[in-house]
Structure 1
């Protein structure tokens, strides 16, 4: 884990989309992310589901997604492939991507147990490829984010009256967060429309940003559209690779996180 921390620093994965079949696969993956957002919205709105279970459900979905990608890229030996790349024993895109995704996988284990850590995800579509950028930051999430409270994270001893009042406040804030996610999740589908029903000219560019973090008992979340720069790449995407995070992600960090710093 120590040797893998730098691989996430201002870097993204670039994956070619050489044909419609590749676009279909990518569209299905984005649809799964959107469906996961809707499921999170439903769970947040259920008073019988603790917030810790909501986040464990989301974390499990992301674990499975990263393990699937690791197996796709490097097979069952993805750990050995990733560590060989980090140790300088190999220098290829398979090793690079395996190391990137493995580091993301490890860091997700800390996502809901480490306070003040911000998870920052950007996925962007370009004519012949898409990019995935993950960052783990510290800072202050924009006031425009939806915020909600978790009674499970309260350390103070509350009397019965205050506990009931705080529980009601938590439920109300989670209800508002559920509404926000339900309304915002369509930005994912709009960014990556079905290639079988959408003209090519209308699906060349798109993207979204997802920001989540916790400060004590308060969780904050942003899910919003993000425009992809038409002039970002001047070369053809022929094979998967690691690239710089891009100006779109840099601007998004400035917009949605105040005083962002890399969490290593």
Structure 2
């Protein structure tokens, strides 16, 4: 009897492991099927048009925007962000840098854009622009600079924010993404403290979310992570979210950018 029960138990464990593996494989196959017609392509095209279009009170395009590799240079910029910019004297990620350019070059109200809900008005345009810029670096390896003192400080701040526990559930970013082998429902959770997880996780956003039919930028992704932790929403382009971007991007050094990608 004991042998029979042991055999049944071992069989159940084996079936459970098989089911988990099959679920993971099924999700990857599902993503692969959707990737051929990724709706992110539409946002990329919109972003490219916005980059070249003369807009705002100054009736100017963003083609003189410096994303870190010189005015107007888009290719390769995404995989070196966030980084320090001398003109703003702060470390900026892609989205906050785009808002700075929209403000200085086109005369748009940066504070108003930052305060607009995701997916609306100029915020929707920022997401499209970020999708276009990210697509121009697809397949390139992340190489975030750490030469400037503020870049190194932001990495350390991001590290502390990543491990900070709080909220009603005493969660932190590390609760889900601080070690290997974690899952939520059928979803494998990447370990964002090292490669390959850091490169794969950080390098996939902006991404199209099939579940809600929306294009999500990294700022929105981090905002939603805070929601799941039961933290207050951070402000758009806040030092906290940018510092997290530095921490994740540096941890993912050498990882390949897959953005804009497609998610469940």
Same fold (TM over 0.5): no
Higher relative contact order (CA 8 A, sep 6+): 1
Which structure has the bigger radius of gyration?
Answer: 2
TM tier relative to shorter chain = under 0.3
Normalised TM-score (structure 1) = 0.27
Structure with the higher strand share, 1 or 2: 1
